[in-house]
Copies of this chain bind each other. A is one copy, B any other.
Amino acid sequence: MVMQFDHLWSANVGRMKKSIIRELLKLTQKPEIISFAGGLPDPKLFPYSDIQQCMNAVLENNGAMALQYGTTEGDVRLRKELVKRYNETEGLSINDGNILITTSSQQGLDFCGRVFVNPGDVVFCELPSYLGGLNAFSASGADLHGIEMDENGMSSVKLDEAINSTIQACKKPKFIYVVPDFQNPAGLTMGEQRRREILEVAYKYGIPVIEDSPYRDLRFEGKAQPMFQKLDTRNMVITLGTFSKVLSPGFRLGWVIAHPYWIDKFVTIKQVADLCSAAILQMTVAEYFVRGYYEKNLRVIIEKYREKRDCMLDALEKYMPAGVKWVKPEGGLFLMITMPEHIDSEKLFVKAIEKNVAFVIGHAFFCNDTGHNTMRLNFSFSTMEDNVEGIRRLAESIKEMM
């Protein structure tokens, strides 16, 4: 039976794209393929026994609350643990009224689109930027304006110009989206001075900065740059966090930090979206923090991911032909490769798959249809051996196209 009801879909549907990454991932599921394509944590580093202990403690001591509906804002104990950690380690001065627990930070990104964007409104993002964010904003009808980056991150001068032109063109600028630490996909970290400049631009035009910060705790070396949330003096920063990279993506838990003025609307939309996040998982994470497991396991992960990054960087040095460039990320899960202009990473992808190695075509992350000669590599998921062997195969594929 042929279904012909396309006239029933909303305008949202026309704006939504299936994630290229998730579609590509389906092609890369074969066990013989070394995949640098996903953004998956190393499952060997999941703290299985710690999680199990916490979960059992929650069910045994507080089961009625764990299995019942919770508040939309999120488990109070978990919010207090996050507050404590942010205030101690990042120098923030927030309280639990500044935090909303979300069902993954993707939900936080979706909410940013839904509460701010009317179709045609302009959102400013990095070139390249995180695809899950871009897709969420596009689904709400955002006109994405990509701002070029240098080694310090998004250009504040170009951002200022772009917002100014937007206003001149009678369009509404809505927010500035940045992934300041170990950016996905570029691997770059934005310097403190640049952060201050971006904030000044935000203040000048009266629009918020969305600080998407999923990897911040995964710093392998070097000095942490202050969070936008820390530098902000005018309550114009909305920070998104997640437990997916440092605890478990299977929990689907993230959070939003912002002034209650912003949080209030996020709470309202969460009531529409899913009422509240899973109490049992929130309480398990709270217990995990209280027991000190978070810091303990974070140290293990940082150690391992540093080793994995290093062996990928060594392999890049060893195997890649001249003309191929990359940035050494100080943390996170990703790095980006830039090849000579004439090499199209979509064509390379086909070749690479033949050699049983996969990546994400960089093009997907550039909202202005550039970046065809780039690709994103994940170094956290595969083994060290596979990181080396995968890069060797990838280098071979590139050489064949040089």
Residues of A within 8 A of B (CB): 1, 3, 5, 8-13, 16-19, 22, 38, 40-41, 43-44, 46, 48, 51-52, 55-56, 59-60, 63-70, 72, 103-104, 106-107, 110, 113-118, 121, 132, 135-136, 139-140, 174-175, 206-208, 234-235, 244, 248-252, 259, 261, 265, 267-269, 271-281
A396 and B80 alpha carbons, distance in the complex (Å) = 43
Complex partner residue of A115 from B9, B116, B280, CB under 8 angstroms: B9
Q: Residues of B contacting A38 with CB < 8 Å?
A: 69
**Are A110 and B69 in contact, CB atoms less than 8 angstroms apart?**
no
* B118 and A10 contact, CB distance less than 8 A: yes
Option from B51, B208, B280 in Cβ contact (under 8 Å) with A59: B51
Alpha-carbon gap, A244 to B276, bound state (A)? 12
What 8 pairs between A and B have smallest CB-CB spacing? A3-B261, A43-B64, A67-B248, A250-B279, A67-B250, A69-B249, A46-B67, A252-B278
With a cutoff of 8 Å between Cβ atoms, the chain B residues found around residue A175 in the complex are: 8
Contact B235 A3 (CB under 8 A): yes
Partner of A103, one of B72, B132, B140, B252: B252
Residues of B with C-beta under 8 A to A19? 271
22 sample A-B contacts, Cβ–Cβ < 8 Å, listed by A number: A3-B261, A8-B175, A9-B115, A12-B269, A13-B115, A16-B271, A18-B271, A22-B72, A22-B275, A43-B64, A46-B67, A48-B63, A51-B67, A52-B56, A67-B250, A68-B249, A69-B250, A106-B272, A106-B275, A132-B275, A250-B278, A274-B274
Nearest neighbor of A108 in chain B, beta-carbon distance: B274
In whole Å, how far is A387's beta carbon from the nearest beta carbon of chain B?
Answer: 19
Please state if B12 and A115 are interface contacts (CB–CB under 8 Å). yes
Q: How far is the CA of A135 from the CA of B208 in the complex (A)?
A: 27
